[in-house]
Amino acid sequence: MILLLDLGNTNLYVGVYQNQALICSFRTDSDLNRSSDMYATLLNNFLTKNNLSPSSFEGAILSSVIPSLTDVIASAVENILQVECKTVNRGIKTGLSLRIDNPYELGADLVCDSVGAIKKYGYPCIICDLGTANKLLVIDKNGNYIGGTISPGIRSAGKALTKDAAQLMDISYKAPKNVIGKNSPDALNSGAIYGTVSMIKGLTTMIEQELGYQTKHILTGGNASLVKEFLNDYKFDSSLILDGLFEIFSKNK
């Protein structure tokens, strides 16, 4: 078995692969105040809940966008499993061809999304990853990662808005019945959910016009479930980043 971990700015997403398939997973907050021992306890509880023995794991791999927590979590994993925890960094083989101005600035999460999408769906494709930020990643017809777009995520944008607007309140995010909100919570949800849907559709059209051809569309990320029912031309894949991590692990045995 292989332990896969994706550390994002909001969530730590953990999964277990056995026989080249994801068998279980969980999410928890990316807490900067947790120690390595605390993360070890969380991971150990996850394994125990799923009746998994630490001695059954042959390896682990971590993708992280929080440098200060990378070693903390890698250490927790290694203490539990007694195996090396690989990290997605400059020295690891990914098989992804990068055609951007500065390949070193590309986040590990975007690399894993791209590797997973190419493996599972082929190319050309647009990967829409909705998390702390909304990212649209573009893989061209030759299988190259050529760039994309980044904008504030649904919850991130909402927090910024309610912080700066005295008369607006925090809300629970869900699609309202109507686009025209007749109260503040519905109006905020309409802007957040339907606004994101419209942005994705519009950017997808603009990207394909710029490419000169149509692409496959994949939707993933922690906030993707909020909009998936309104994006029928996007294939929803909640485990895409873990699939990419597994593929990268396989290239670095």
- Point out the residues that are catalytic: 109
Angle at which helix 108-121 crosses helix 240-251, to 10 degrees, equals: 90
Contact 60, 4 (CB under 8 A): yes
CA–CA distances in Å: residue 205 to residues 10, 195, 217, 248, 252: 29, 15, 11, 30, 36
DSSP-derived letter for residue 194 is I
Residue 172: CB atoms within 10 Å: 6
H or E segment to which residue 177 belongs: none
Angle at which helix 36-49 crosses helix 67-81, to 10 degrees, equals: 50
Strand-pair partners of 219: 128, 236
Rounded-to-integer distance, Cα 233 and Cα 203, Å? 14
Contact 138, 114 (CB under 8 A): no
**12: closest CA among 83, 70, 89, 91?**
70
